[in-house]
Structure 1
Amino acid sequence: MRLSIIMAGLNGAVGVAIGAFAAHGMAGSEMDYARSLVEKGAHYQLVHAVALAAIAGLVHHVPDEKFLRFAAYAMLVGILFFCGSLYAIAFSGVTLFGVVAPIGGLSFIAGWLMLTAAGYRRFGR
């Protein structure tokens, strides 16, 4: 779970930095669409950075950590593909990057479902 803690910290820092850049460095009506993409990506990145930290904190409370490990990896893939595609579109203008966003969205969903499974295995019996 060391990786989850490291990735939580790095993704939290990047999410804050890129969100601040969107708010302050992307001013002007011609940048509205790109700014909205960056803000959405930063929002999802920050939410999932917190989830990664929570997953790392849960490892001592769940007897079989395999579901937690899968949850963390799925959320990392989600950040890479979903948030990354939004950032790529915003900064390059190439909308083709959007084709990978659903992979990231599905990865986020899978991560949350794996977290659910870990909780069920620990507390549902």
Structure 2
Amino acid sequence: MKIFTIIASISAALCVALGAFGAHVLEGRIPERYIDTWQKAVQYQMFHTVGLFLVALFATKWPNVTPVGWFMLVGIVLFSGSLYVLSLTQIKILGAITPIGGVSFIIAWLLLAYTAIKHM
């Protein structure tokens, strides 16, 4: 699926830019714990960006793998996105969104396993 290759490519570029922003712009401007939160968001975004590339690759053989990619994308937006906003605003209630993104990641990986088993 071309769409996941495009989304993953943009997400990977964003990971590099957001990681650099956190290290060079935010350092010293926000509390250290929020720098750590920012870096965790970048890390999880990159892990799941690689997952999106895998979905794009597997889609050539497994057409029903598409939901996996959408769950990963939702996870990136909700998990990493909420952590980015939390780091910048320090509004702690935003952390309540993060687990929803985490559940989306878990669903994505379990769906990928199910899809692989189905196509053995």
Structure 1 and Structure 2 fold alike (TM over 0.5): yes
Superposed, 1:92-103 pairs within 5 Å as 92-103=89-100
- Offset at residue 57 of structure 1 (A): 0.7
1:49 aligns with 2:58: no
Aligned residue for 1:39? Answer: 39
Is 1:75 paired with 2:104? no
Distance 1:17 1:30 in 2: 18
What secondary structure, in the 3-state scheme, does the structure 1 residue paired with 2:97 have?
helix
Q: TM-score, normalised by structure 1?
A: 0.90
In structure 2, the partner of 1:113 is 110
TM-score normalised by structure 2 residue count? 0.94
Moved over 6 A (4+): none
Give me the CA root mean square deviation: 1.3
Number of corresponding residues: 120
The Cα offsets for residues 65-123 of structure 1, whole Å up to 9 and x where unpaired, read as 22x11110000010010001100100111111111111100000000011101110111
What is the Cα deviation at residue 31 of structure 1? 2.6
In structure 1, distance between residues paired with 2:107 and 2:29: 36
Percent of matched pairs sharing the same residue: 33
Matching residue of 2:101:
104
Residue 88 to residue 30, structure 1, CA distance change in 2 (3 Å): closer
